[in-house]
Amino acid sequence: MFNALRILLLGLFGAAMVHIAILSLLPIYSERDVWAALAARADLYSTVPLVHSAAGTEGDRPFIDNPLIEASVCRFDLSTGMTRILADGRVPFWSMSIYDRDGLNVFSLNDRSAQQRTLDVVIADPPQTLELRKGLPEALEQSVLVQADVTEGMALVRVFVPDESWRAAVSEFLDSVRCAPL
For 48-64, what is the mean pLDDT? 67
What was the pLDDT predicted at 55?
Answer: 53
Question: Any bridge partners for residue 109, and if so which?
Answer: 96
Q: Which residues contact 77 (CB under 8 A, 6 or more apart)?
A: 44, 83, 151, 152, 181
Say which CATH class 34-181 falls into: mainly beta
Query: Among 11-20, 82-91, 146-155, whose mean pLDDT is lowest?
Result: 11-20
Q: Is the pLDDT of residue 38 over 90?
A: no
For 6-22, what is the mean pLDDT? 85
Cα distance between residue 40 and residue 33, in whole Å: 11
Q: What does pTM read for this prediction?
A: 0.79
For 35-60, what is the mean pLDDT? 77
DSSP per-residue letters across 109-139: EEGGGSGGG--EEEEE-HHHHHHHHH---GG
For the chain, what is the radius of gyration of the CA atoms?
Answer: 21
Q: Which residues contact 81 (CB under 8 A, 6 or more apart)?
A: 128, 181, 182
What was the pLDDT predicted at 72?
Answer: 94
Cα distance between residue 143 and residue 120, in whole Å: 5
Delimit the domains of the chain by residue range: 34-181
Q: Is the pLDDT of residue 42 over 60?
A: yes
What was the pLDDT predicted at 164?
Answer: 93
Cα distance between residue 157 and residue 45, in whole Å: 13
Query: pLDDT for 116-144, tens place per residue?
Result: 899 999 999 999 999 888 888 888 888 99
